[in-house]
Amino acid sequence: MIEVGAFYLGNSRCQFVVWAPLLKQVRVNIISSEPQVAPMQQDEQGYWCVIAEPVEPGDCYFYQLNGESERPDPASRSQPQGVHGASQVIDQAFHWSDKDWTGIALQDMILYEVHVGTFTPQGTFEAIIPRLPRLKELGITAIEIMPVAQVPGQKQGETEEAYRNWGYDGVYPYAVQNSYGGVQGLKQLVNACHQQGIAVVLDVVYNHLGPEGNYLGNFAPYFTSKFRPIWGEALNFDDAYCDGVRNYFLGNALYWFETFHIDGLRLDAIQGIYDLSAKHFLEELAEKVADLSQQLGRKLYLTAESDLNDVRVIRPQAVGGYDIDAQWCDDFHHALHTLVTGEQHGYYQDFGRVEDLAKSLREGFIYSGQYSLDRHRCHGNSSIAEPAEQFIICSQNHDQTGNRILGERLTQLTSFEGLKLTAAVVLLSPFVPLLFMGEEYGESAPFSYFISHSDLELVAAIQKSKDEEFKQIGYDGDSYDPASLEVFEQCKLNWDLQHEEKHQVLWQFYQHLIQLRRSHPALKKLDKQSLEVTVNEADRILIMRRWSDQEQVLAIVNFSDREVNINTIPDGSWQKILDTAEEKWRGSGATLPEELTSDQPLAASAKSFTLYQS
């Protein structure tokens, strides 16, 4: 692999490397106390290189292309003046204190998704650090950070709060968002996480680049017209000159692992990575990460977001898979969401039965080849043979919340009993759970889609697109202005809530669930084979039994809004260890007994989750 970017070598020397195979001339214009324009030499693969001096960390630079336009570095590590400004030379030196860090095994991860800009009032990496002990107290073992690549925005006065973006509009995949704290800020956060025993997963986007500040096409054939994706031009992973594109993104993945000590990458929407070559980009990526894992002596993880319901994503390469460690399981979310909210618009029309959730608990994917009303075609393949730890599940995340017209969390969509029930189903499932920041205490602030593009025509186009998107999926009412500062401010977490009344009880409930998951052998074992699920569709009852050696648990889940009689339970003598209807959890009062046997009449409280052990 060939590393691209600006590399400070010490002693006022810096190496610049950029891929531009079709250009006739490339020079680097260094903006410093001793400005200079240094000509670069091209090799046979189209990489231009020069070692220039004197250059110091903090100096800025542009590339001059064919003696005409000046553009920032596609592999810039820092964009202090935003996406249209000069790139900056960075000194990567950092004092790490995590030399004994060995990571967190995937099956032990309790993931917690964070958007840096709205997680704290300050919206920075540094401001997250004081919150880590509280997350550790909750039981979180890994935070998953939404994308941090530099996004477009414009300053308003002396504040940088105008930089508002989810992160999926990034146009400099190597540059850490300057308003978050840049390179040093991210390293400080990762270092602090490791000191707390918390792993860090970073969300990266290899399926498209944002529309504003996207200058990669000026340098090389980074894009192809072979495909028609929904997000801008398709990246060129399999057409002429694709080797340089693949090198660019493979290098980016390794950059996060090597330079920032990141523990895992979450690959955004891999269905948008179009590649018909003999070795798919994802296969090559998995190979490179596996090699680096071996060199570092600790396991590095790749997880993927995919709506394909295709087990090839997570299967080993030896049996034709891409060898990604795990993937998000949207089917689980959709099945659970429809049961607790009753919503049936858009893709939710494909779900709504208790048996849907039961199938997901047994297998992972619900759609494994059958017809989908929403997609108007058959969808998916069977995941029954895939290990449980390869599926990441949730009841809330940035997409499922933020792509709603009002950005409502479950707090606004179901009752307090519904919140407890969904938490228990997720955290006591056989899969890897992910929480969305604030859900652990019932955060009431919305999480809406927000942007801060400086191109007003682009803002108008995005507004129109959002309006059409919401209409297509059945939402009524007026949309909102995603570029509004007020919309962004409303999305910030209200941290004080977690110490108030029901919010505090919910936080304690989440903490208790995580403790149960980590301590009880039958819950700690992530195994779909040691699991049995039955349903009573008419009464909206799900009964799940899980076991490990001599230990077993029995969950009775009532999705109905009324008390329901339970007719049959597995044989045995069962002792209650959790009941969401108990008054200690602000319930209306438990109706199921402390001990139960298979021959006694039973009644489950409305919207309740009760757990027994034997």
> What is the set of active-site residues?
268, 305
Pairing of strands 69-71, 60-65: antiparallel
Q: How many CB atoms lie within 10 A of CB 216?
A: 22
- Structure tokens given for 390: 């390869």
Burial 220-257 (b: 16+ CB within 10 A, else e): bbbbbeebeeebebbbbbbbebbebbbbbbbbbbbbbb
CA distance 24 to 271: 35
What are the φ and ψ backbone dihedral angles of 265, each rounded to 5 degrees? -115, 135
Instruction: Identify whether the C-beta of residue 205 lies closer than 8 Å to the C-beta of residue 105.
Output: no
Query: What's the Cα-to-Cα distance from 424 to each of 99, 278, 427, 505, rounded to whole Å?
Result: 36, 43, 5, 14
CA distance 185 to 182: 5
E strands, 311-368, in order: 326-328
| Local structure of 243: helix, strand or coil | helix
Query: Angle at the Cα of 473 (from 472 to 476), degrees rounded to 5?
Result: 90
CA distance 236 to 242: 6
Q: What is the DSSP string of 150-198?
A: E-----BTTB-TT----STT-SEEEEE-GGGTHHHHHHHHHHHHHHTT-
Instruction: Identify whether the C-beta of residue 293 lies closer than 8 Å to the C-beta of residue 329.
Output: no
Instruction: Identify whether the C-beta of residue 282 lies closer than 8 Å to the C-beta of residue 209.
Output: no
Residue 208 C-beta-side C-alpha neighbours within 13 Å: 17
What are the φ and ψ backbone dihedral angles of 132, each rounded to 5 degrees? -60, -45
**AA letter at 478:** D
**AA letter at 528:** K
E strands, 179-270, in order: 199-204, 223-224, 234-235, 264-267
Q: How many residues are given for the chain?
A: 614
Residue 549 burial (CB < 10 Å; 0-12/13-18/19+)?
A: exposed
Give the orientation angle of helix 242-260 with respect to helix 182-195, to 10 degrees.
Answer: 50
CA distance 489 to 506: 24
Residue 387 C-beta-side C-alpha neighbours within 13 Å: 14
Residue 61 burial (CB < 10 Å; 0-12/13-18/19+)?
A: buried
